[in-house]
Amino acid sequence: MKSFVGHRGEWKKFVRWSMALCGILFLLACSGAGGLSYAAGLSEGEQRVFDYADLFRDEEKAMLEERAGQLRESMKAEVIILTVEDAEGEESQHLSDRFYFNQGFDQSFGENGILMLIDMDNRECYLGTYGSMIRVMTDQRIQQVLDDVFEYVSSAEYAKGALAGIEGVYQYFQEGIATNQYNFNVETGEIQVYHSIRWYEAVFALTVSAAVAAFACRSVVREYRMEDSGSMGSRLAYQAGCQFRFQDTSDELINTMVTHVVIPRQTASESRGGRSSSGRSSTHSFGGHQAGGGGRKF
């Protein structure tokens, strides 16, 4: 009996150690399953910084996480920072779009968001824009933000570069959508112009329209009432003079003239819609979604 109890205790100890060993092996497998699946980081829910290239120190990552969360709430748009060491043959644009949509970040604010990518494989910093942020970040604005990012990334100050990227976007978000903004689909050539009316423009337009309409109505009423005729006699004289006469008329062609006008050659920019490139946001498709963005090699 005593021997049986001893063997039973050893068996329980063996089972506990086996379960602990399996748990350790499972955690090691999860942490080693890197690549570009990125599934591990999403379980935390609130994570917005994914440093798969190991470019940030712990304090830098914490700072970026906090700031990305603040800007996310301010802009009501996702703010994601991603670094990769091995792009597995993908271009930075495709990598950014795939990570944003496949990981479900488009579900938070109706696709609105940005992704700041530092791609160490392609040696490129790329700013992806989605939803309403495509309107906010024109091609020109993206390149101006990447100017600041490039200064830091080219000097291996990656955390500062990532921060400069999301802060630059926030500054333009505060300025609002440019008045001459339009989306230009680089794949189809389709143009989607942004139309906006400010409150004071609407009030002014309504006021002018109401004044013109009131003046026209009053003029018509006065004309039919003949308020300016002065007396009844004038009305009768006016009515007595009203008569119609019909006669045959014909039109004759007197002369002809041909004018030659030189049509100017259409430039490349005009053939793409005839609009200024300063307000253009270049877009492309990814899995049925519309995406924008731009990159800079370093």
How does pLDDT run across 149-164, given as a tens digit for each residue? 999 999 999 999 999 9
Is a pLDDT exceeding 70 seen at residue 84?
Answer: yes
Average pLDDT over residues 278-289: 94
Query: What is the pLDDT averaged over residues 188-199?
Result: 76
Q: Are 294 and 149 in contact (CB under 8 A)?
A: no
pLDDT exceeds cutoff 80 at 106: yes
Q: What is the mean pLDDT of the chain?
A: 78
Q: Are 192 and 183 contacting, i.e. CB atoms less than 8 angstroms apart?
A: yes
Compute, in degrees rounded to 10, the torsion defined by CA atoms 28, 30, 32, 35.
180
Determine the pLDDT at residue 50.
98
Cα–Cα distance measured from residue 121 to residue 83, given in angstroms and rounded to the nearest whole number = 10
With pLDDT > 90 as the criterion, what percentage of the chain qualifies?
A: 54
Q: What is the pLDDT of residue 108?
A: 86
Rounded to an integer, the average pLDDT of 56-82 is 97
* Cβ count within 10 A of residue 90: 18
| Residue whose entry in the numeric block shows the structure tokens 């604010």 | 109
Closest to 162 measured CA to CA, from 249, 258, 55:
55
**Model pLDDT for residues 221-247, shown as the tens digit of each residue:** 666 665 554 555 555 555 555 565 666
Residue 269: predicted pLDDT: 42
**Among the four given CATH numbers 3.40.50.1000, 3.50.50.60, 1.10.4030.10, 3.10.310.50, the one describing domain 41-178+288-297:** 3.10.310.50
Distance CA 56, CA 52 (A): 10
pLDDT at 194: 84
Instruction: Tell me which of 160-174, 197-211, 215-229, 256-270 is least confident.
Output: 256-270
Domain regions of the chain by residue span: 41-178+288-297
